[in-house]
Amino acid sequence: MASISVIGAGIAGLSLAWEIAKRGHHVRVIEAEGIGAGSSGGTVGALAPHAPDGWNAKKQFQLESLLSAQGFWTEVAEAGGMDPGYARTGRVQPVAAADLPKLKARIEGAGRFWGNAARMWLTQDRPGGPLCPDSPDGWWLMDDLTARLSPRAAGAALAAAIRSRGGDIMIGQRADISEIDGPAIWATGTEGLAQLGEDLGRKVGQGVKGQSAALAYNAPDAPQVYAGGLHIVPHADGTVGIGSTSENSFDHPGTDALLEDVIDSARLLCPALAGTKVVTRWAGIRPRAKSRAPLAGPWPGRPGQFVLNGGFKIGFGMAPALARCMADLVLEGRDDLPEGFRLQGSGDTPISGA
C-alpha cells in the first residue's frame, strides 16, 4: 500500500495516524498550522460518558471507546515517551433532591448498560477532594467511568508515538487533494465540514465556538466536577481546566467576557480555586456535525478519500474507537462504524483504498 495521508493534526487525525502506524503502515500527517491548532488545543479534557438515558448506538460506541482509553493512551505513552495526561479519576456532581427519581432511573440505566465495567451512584456523604462543590440538598451524583486527558499533552504524545513508528508529521503545509497519491483521510475540523458541505451540496455541520481556561491549582488525583454546566478538571501538571462555552453565533474567534464569567463561576462553585492564577485562556471553533454524531467513512464520490470529522465535545472520548474503526475501513475495507456516523446509507460499499 502507498503511504497513507492524514490531513489534520487534531485529536481525530493524530489518533487515526497512530493506529495506522502501529499496524505497520507508513503514514504522513499533513497539517497547515500546528498540532492541536484547532479545537483540539483547549484546556478541559473531560472524557465524560453520555447519560444512560435513551441508550443508542452512539452511546454504546462512546462507552466502548472510554473503556479502551487507558490501554490506548498507555500504548501512546510507551511508544513516544511522552505522558498524555490520562487518568480515570471519576466525577462528582451536586444534585437537587427534586431530581432524585430521575437520577435513580439513570443509575439503573448505568447498571444495565455499563455492566461491571463502571458504576454510578448517589451519596449524602460529602465526597473527598478539595474541589468538591456544596450541594443545595446534601446529595451528590458520582461515577467512576469519567476520565481526564490533557489536550495539548495528548497531541504531543501522539505526535511522538507516530514518529517513533516511522511516521511523518508535516507542519505548515496545506494538502491539495489532486496532489495526494494513495489513500487520504480528511480530519480537518470546522474548515473541513464547510468543504464537505460544499462538495455534497448540503449543510453537514457548523462550527461552534468554545472558550475555556486553565487555573494554577494542584490536585491531580481529585475527581473532576460537573456543576452549573461547567466541567472542572484537575490535571497532572498542576492545573485545573475549566469550561467551556458553546456559542453558535459569535463576533470573533478569540476570548472575551464570556470566559471571564466561566472563570468567576468556577471559583464560586469550588472555593479552593478563589484567587488562583489563570495560566491559560483559550478559544476555538469546534466542528459539530448536523447529526450531532461524528462523521466518519468514505468521502462520497471520491474513491480512496475518507472523512473523519464532527467530534465537537466528544472527540477526545471517541478518539480510540474511531481510530480503530477508521483504520479497519481504510486498511481492510471493513466497516464497523455505527450507521449514524456514515456520510451515506448502509447500502453503500466501503472503499478500502488499498
Residue linked to cell 472527540: 315
Q: For position 179, what pLDDT does the model report? A: 76
> Beta strand 278-289 with 205-216: parallel, antiparallel or unpaired?
antiparallel
Q: How far apart are CA 351 and CA 348, in angstroms?
A: 9
Q: For position 163, what pLDDT does the model report? A: 98
Domain 4-82+150-204+291-341 adopts which CATH fold?
FAD/NAD(P)-binding domain (3.50.50)
Q: How far apart are CA 329 and CA 307, in angstroms?
A: 11
Q: Is the pLDDT of residue 69 over 90?
A: yes
Query: Looking at this protein, which amino acid is placed at residue 148?
Result: R
Residue linked to cell 443508542: 56
288-303 pLDDT, tens per residue?
999 899 999 999 999 9
3-state secondary structure of 15: helix
Rounded to the nearest 5 degrees, what angle is found at the Cα of 105, between the Cα atoms of 99 and 110?
A: 120
Q: How far apart are CA 3 and CA 26, in angstroms?
A: 5
DSSP for 264-327, written as a single string: HHHHHHSGGGTT--EEEEEEEEEEEETTSS-EEEE-TT-TTEEEEE-BGGGHHHHHHHHHHHHH
Q: For position 2, what pLDDT does the model report? A: 67
Phi, psi of 191 (to 5 degrees): -60, -40
Task: Kindly list the distances between the CA atom of residue 100 and the CA atoms of 94, 227, 350, in Å, as whole numbers in the listed order.
Answer: 11, 16, 46
pTM, rounded to two decimals: 0.94
Q: How far apart are CA 20 and CA 125, in angstroms?
A: 46
216-252 pLDDT, tens per residue?
999 999 999 999 999 999 999 999 999 999 999 999 9
Q: Is the pLDDT of residue 120 over 50?
A: yes
* Sequence spans of domains, the chain: 4-82+150-204+291-341
Q: Which residues pair with 144 in a beta bridge?
A: none
Q: For position 346, what pLDDT does the model report? A: 30
38-64 pLDDT, tens per residue?
999 999 999 999 999 999 999 999 999
Q: 352: pLDDT confidence band, cut at 50, 70 and 90?
A: very low
Strand boundaries in the chain, DSSP class E: 4-7, 27-31, 46-47, 91-95, 120-123, 139-143, 147-148, 168-171, 184-186, 205-216, 224-227, 230-234, 239-243, 278-289, 295-298, 305-309
